Amino acid sequence: MSYRAVKFLSFYRPYLRTLALDLLCAFIISGITLILPLCVRHITQNLLDAGAPNQLRDIALMAAIMLALVAAHTLCNLFVDYQGHMMGAMMESDMRRELFAHLQKLSFSFYDDEKTGSLMSRITNDLFALSELYHHGPEDLLIGLVKFSGVFLITLSINPVLSVVVILFLPLMFFYSLHFNRKMNRALRLSKERVAEVNAQIEDSLAGIRVVQSFANEAWEQAKFDAANARFVESRRLEYRSEGFFYGGMETFAQLMTVVVVVFGALAIVNASLDLPDLITFLLYVGILIEPIRRLVNFARWYQEGITGFQRFMDMLELPPAIQEPRDARSPERLRGELELRNVTFGYRDDFGTVFRGLSLRIAIGEYVALVGASGVGKTTLGALIPRFYDVTGGQIILDGVDIREYSLASLRRNIGTVDQDVYLFGATVAENIRYGKPDAGRAEIIAAAKQANAHDFIMALPQAYDTEIGQRGIKLSAGQRQRLSIARLFLKDPPLIILDEATSALDNESERVVQQSLERLIKNRTTLVIAHRLSTIRNADRILVLTEDGICEQGSHDQLLEREGVYARLHSLQLVR
C-alpha cells in the first residue's frame, strides 16, 4: 500500500467506533430495504387468496412487521445522516489543522511564490469535498454492494432468465460511467484550480482596496476579476457537461431496465412461467436496484472530487520546509546576543542572482550597530537571514559561538526581535496584539510594555482603551501608533537581539520622534542591528556599516565616517539636500 493510501486511511483512526456504527447502520438499512419487497410478495402471493385462513390477522401481523422495519430503517438513517456527517466534519477539521500547521512551517521563500487566496481554497474547498468522501464513501459503497448483491440473488431465485436480462445492462452501465468519470475527474481538477485563481484575485484586490480606489482603478480590477471568473465558469461548463452526460445516461439505463422488465415479465406471465405477484416483486427490486447503482455512482463522484482534493492536500503537505532544523537541535532558553557573519553568501534563486557574497562582520553583546546603503544592496535580506527566514547559500551566521542552523527555530526566533517598516497587526484588540509578544502575559505586563513603548496614552484615548478592536492590519490606527504597538510587543517578548528594519522611515517627524524615543529605550542593553534609511536616526550608533554591492566598504561612528568623506558622507549630504 502506498504512503498516500496509508495517509488517507489514517484519518479514520480516531473515529473507528463511529465508522463501525455508521457501517452497521448502513448494513441494516440495506437489509431492511431488501426485506420489504419480500413482505409485499408474501402478502400478494399468500394472504390475498380467497378463503385463506386468518387473512386479517396475518395481514395485520405483516403490517406490524413492516412498520417495525420502517422504524428501524428511519433510526439507522438518522444515525448515518447525523453522526456520519459529524465524523466527516471532524476529519475535515483534523486535516485542516494539520495543513495549517504545515503551512506555518514553510519558509518565506514558499510564500514569495504563492498567493494567499489559492492557499485558502486548498484549506476550505478541497477539504470539504474530501470530508464528503470520508463520510459518504464507505456507507455508499457498502449500501450499494449489499443492495446490489441482495437484489441479484433474490431476483435470480424469482426468475433466472429475467434476472440475467437485467444484469446484462450492468457492463454497459459500467463502461459508460467509467468513461464519463474520467472526464469529470479532469474537469473537477481544473475547476478547483480555477476557483483558487478567483480566490487569489479577490484576496489581492480586496487587500489592496485603498490603493485600488486611490488610483480609481476599480474598472481595471473588475476586468481582472471578470477574466478569472470567466475561466472558472468555463471549467464549470466542462464539469457540468460531463456530469450531465454521466447522470443523464445512468437515468436512461434505469428507465430502460424498467421497460425491459415489464415487457419480458408480461411475456413470461403469458407463457405461464411467471405470476403477477412475482412480476410486482421483480419491479420493486428493479426499483431498488436503481438506488444501489446511484449509490455506486455517487461513490464514484465523491471519490473523484475527494481524491482530487486529497491529491492537492498531499501535494502541499509533502512540500518540505526550505528551512530545516537538526534532529538534535539546541534549544537554549536565553541567548546572550553575540552575532557574527562569516563569509556569508546569499541569493534568492538562481535566476535572481546573488544578493551579496563573502560578507563578514561581528557584533558584540549589547553593541548598537547600524547598516546603511543604497536600495537593493541586501540590507533587509541580511536582517531576514539572522532569524533564518531564509538560509544562507554559503558561509555561516554565528550566534553566541554556535551556527544558527544548530538551534531549533523556535529557540532562535524566541531570542530575536524584529521591527519592520511595514508593521503587521492582527484584526483583534490592542491588548491581544501586544500580548502576541508573550501569550501568557497578564494585563499589568501588557500595560507596562505599552508605557515603555510610549503607547499607553494614545491607547487610553481609544474608545475601549486596551479592549479596542483595531481592524485588519491595525487600519484604525495611524502609522506611528501601529509602530509603537509593535515595539510594545517586543518589550513584552524581551529578546536579547533586536533587528530594526527602517522602522521609522514611513513616519512623519513628530511620530518619528516619539517612536525613536521608545526604540532607544527598547535597544538599551541589547545587541541591536538597525537597518537605516534616515541617517539622522543612527547618529548614536556604536558603529555604522556601509553596505554596497561589493560588501561592507566602510565602518565606524557617525563622526568618523563623515570625516572620511566616503560613501557614507555622500549619502549624508544627499539627505541634507533633500
pLDDT in tens, 243-292: 788 778 877 877 788 788 788 777 777 777 777 777 787 778 777 777 77
Domain co-membership, 214 together with 343? no
- Does 112 share its domain with 39? yes
Please tell me the distance from the alpha carbon of residue 159 to that of residue 166, in angstroms, as a whole number. 11
Q: What pLDDT, on a 0 to 100 scale, did the predictor assign at position 207?
A: 66
- pLDDT of the residue at 75: 92
Report which of 285, 284, 287, 264 is spatially closest to residue 274, judged by C-alpha positions.
264
Q: What is the DSSP letter of 506?
A: T
Domain boundary among 284, 317, 350: 317
41 found inside a domain: yes
C-alpha to C-alpha distance for 262 and 133, rounded to whole angstroms: 36
The residues near 18 (Cβ < 8 Å, ≥ 6 apart) are 83, 84, 86, 87
Please state the φ and ψ torsions of residue 394, each to the nearest 5 degrees. -165, 150
400 plus 515 within the same structural domain: yes
* Cα gap 490→507, rounded to integer Å: 19
pLDDT tens by residue, 340-389: 888 888 877 665 667 778 888 888 888 888 888 777 777 788 888 888 88
Is residue 340 a contact partner of residue 361, using CB atoms and an 8 Å limit?
A: yes
- 75: amino acid identity, one letter: L
Whether residue 381 sits in one domain with residue 300: no
Q: Which grid coordinates are listed for 98?
A: 494539520
**Residues 245 and 364 occupy one common structural domain:** no
Residue 29 is assigned to a structural domain of this protein:
yes
- 87 close to 18: Cβ distance less than 8 angstroms: yes
Instruction: Check whether residue 468 and residue 523 sit in a common domain.
Output: yes
Q: Evaluate whether residue 54 is within a structural domain.
A: yes
pLDDT at residue 485, as a whole number: 83
Range(s) of the domain holding residue 548: 339-577
Q: Which residue numbers in the chain have pLDDT < 70? A: 1, 47-52, 55, 112-118, 121, 125, 203, 206-217, 349-353, 503-512, 534, 536, 572, 574-578
Tell me the C-alpha distance between 494 and 448, whole Å. Answer: 12
pTM of the predicted protein model? 0.68
Domain count of the fold of the chain: 2
The verdict on residue 10 lying in a domain is no
The predicted structure's pLDDT at residue 13 = 87
Backbone phi, then psi, for 83, in 5-degree steps? -65, -35
The domain that holds 492 is classified in CATH as 3.40.50.300
Name 293's Cβ contacts closer than 8 Å, sequence gap at least 6. Answer: 144, 148, 173, 250, 253, 254
pLDDT of amino acid 578 = 46
